[in-house]
């Protein structure tokens, strides 16, 4: 059985599954039934490999799938298209009595190719879960530099900024190239969308926040359209990805009234949205809830993110 295997980051696992589905399947990804198994997600058949997944560690082009107990036997019969030098990497998602050196010896006896442990041209990756063994070639390893863009490390920091990896994942969920953040704050989400190659714009009702957002984006040579504007009045034609304001540094607002006005106004500008809220919500004023994610912030705060479709 051939396909594509994603090795997911364990933190925010539910969101990691959704992000991988969004970039593999496109909009409507929530209707697809793939489920994570021991931190992996398998897609059957030939698939295009995404350029970047914020919450995935590695992607493997799978050549064969078998029961863990049949791994050595299957490896001996499998033709692996090794190009140049190679290395065998064993990724265990569970504790099983299988050793990388033994598997590498089987592959070498079939291939008779040069082994290079430091800089191989081909990486044969074998992934073990409780129920399955996946044999394939590593297609991508993601080493995103998200940690250096955490909110407190930006030139114009703000304490309520979303973690950059989460922001990038939410950007991917809407599956479009043009994105707007109407509550952009210090610009963390705008920054991640811009670095992902999206056509991005942002707005905020606070002049200080717009100044911060411009400074943060400029540090990464991005010049998105950033406007001082009320989200219930001005919205461009673009998918919306946003996290509503919260925290001690945020001006108090009537959240219920703000949300109602914003959601009604958004119907005239877009047909899909990712909306972050400080609490759960049931009435979205005509918007359909496609998916819901919870993200733990600290003992007094859990953020709720909704994927909405008009």
Predicted confidence band of residue 250 (pLDDT cuts 50, 70, 90): very low
Q: Among 116, 141, 166, which residue terminates a domain? A: 141
Tally of domains within the chain: 2
- Give 292's contacts (C-beta < 8 A, 6+ positions apart): 304, 305, 306, 307
Closest CA to 309 of 162, 176, 168, 165: 176
Q: Is 45 left (phi over 0), alpha (psi -120 to 50) or beta?
A: left
Whether residue 101 is found in the same domain as residue 186: no
**How many residues would you count in the chain?**
310
Whether residue 268 is found in the same domain as residue 152: yes
pLDDT tens digits for range 213-227: 999 999 999 999 999
Whether residue 130 is found in the same domain as residue 93: yes
Question: Alpha-carbon Rg of the chain, whole angstroms?
Answer: 22
Q: Give dist(CA 30, CA 34) in Å, integer.
A: 10
Which tokens in the block code for residue 51?
């350029």
CATH number at residue 298: 3.40.50.150
Predicted confidence band of residue 309 (pLDDT cuts 50, 70, 90): very high
Whether residue 234 is found in the same domain as residue 297: yes
pLDDT averaged over the chain? 92
Whether residue 225 is found in the same domain as residue 103: no
More confident residue, 27 or 97: 27
Whether residue 187 is found in the same domain as residue 264: yes
Percent of residues, the chain, with pLDDT higher than 90: 78
pLDDT score for 249: 46
Whether residue 156 is found in the same domain as residue 116: no
Predicted confidence band of residue 273 (pLDDT cuts 50, 70, 90): very high
CATH number at residue 68: 3.30.2130.30
Q: Determine whether 48 is exposed, middle or buried from the number of CB atoms within 10 Å of its CB (0-12, 13-18, 19+).
A: exposed
Q: Among 122, 141, 160, which residue terminates a domain? A: 141
pLDDT tens digits for range 43-62: 999 998 888 899 999 999 99
Whether residue 22 is found in the same domain as residue 105: yes
Whether residue 209 is found in the same domain as residue 158: yes
- CB contact at 8 A, 167 and 177: no
Whether residue 299 is found in the same domain as residue 216: yes
Q: Give dist(CA 245, CA 231) in Å, integer.
A: 12
pLDDT score for 299: 59
* Nearest-5° Cα angle at 105, 129 to 133: 15
Q: Determine whether 286 is exposed, middle or buried from the number of CB atoms within 10 Å of its CB (0-12, 13-18, 19+).
A: exposed
Closest CA to 161 of 176, 174, 146, 144: 146
Q: Is this structure's pTM higher than 0.85?
A: yes
- Give 239's contacts (C-beta < 8 A, 6+ positions apart): 174, 176, 178, 179, 180, 270, 271, 272, 273
Whether residue 153 is found in the same domain as residue 134: no
Whole domain around residue 198: which residue ranges? 146-309
- Give 39's contacts (C-beta < 8 A, 6+ positions apart): 7, 8, 10, 13, 93
Buried b (16+ CB within 10 A) or exposed e, 238-258: bbbbbbbbbeeebeeeeeeeb
pLDDT tens digits for range 159-189: 888 899 999 999 999 999 999 999 999 999 9
**pLDDT surpasses 90 at 13:** yes
Task: Tell me the average pLDDT across 74-82.
Answer: 92
Whether residue 118 is found in the same domain as residue 17: yes
Cβ count near 20 (within 10 Å): 25
């Amino acid at each position: 059985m051939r396909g594509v295997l994603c090795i997911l980051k364990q933190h925010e696992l539910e969101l990691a599954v959704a992000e991988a589905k969004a970039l593999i399947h496109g909009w409507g990804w929530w209707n697809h039934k793939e489920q994570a198994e021991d931190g992996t997600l398998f897609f059957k058949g030939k698939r295009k490999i995404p350029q970047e997944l914020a919450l995935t560690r590695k992607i493997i082009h799978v050549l064969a799938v078998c029961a863990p107990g049949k791994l050595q036997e299957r490896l001996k019969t499998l033709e692996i298209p090794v190009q140049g030098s190679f290395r065998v990497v064993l990724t265990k998602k569970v504790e099983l009595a299988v050793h990388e050196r033994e598997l590498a010896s089987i592959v070498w006896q079939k291939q008779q190719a040069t082994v290079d442990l430091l800089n191989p041209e081909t990486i044969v990756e074998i992934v073990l879960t409780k129920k399955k063994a996946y044999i394939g070639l590593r297609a991508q390893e993601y080493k995103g530099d998200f940690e250096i863009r955490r909110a407190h490390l930006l030139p114009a920091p703000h304490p309520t900024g979303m973690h950059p990896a989460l922001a990038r994942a939410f950007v991917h969920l809407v599956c479009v190239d043009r994105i707007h953040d109407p509550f952009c704050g210090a610009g963390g989400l705008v920054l991640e969308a811009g670095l992902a190659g999206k056509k991005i714009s942002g707005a905020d009702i606070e002049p200080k926040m717009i100044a911060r957002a411009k400074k943060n984006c400029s540090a990464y040579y991005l010049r998105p359209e950033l406007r001082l504007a009320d989200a219930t009045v001005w919205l461009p034609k673009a998918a919306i990805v946003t996290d509503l304001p919260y925290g001690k540094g945020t001006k108090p607002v009537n959240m219920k009234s703000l949300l109602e006005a914003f959601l009604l106004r958004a119907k005239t500008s877009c047909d899909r949205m990712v909306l972050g809220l400080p609490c759960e919500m049931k009435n979205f004023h005509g918007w359909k809830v496609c998916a819901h994610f919870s993200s733990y912030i600290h003992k007094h705060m859990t953020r709720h993110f909704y994927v909405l479709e008009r």
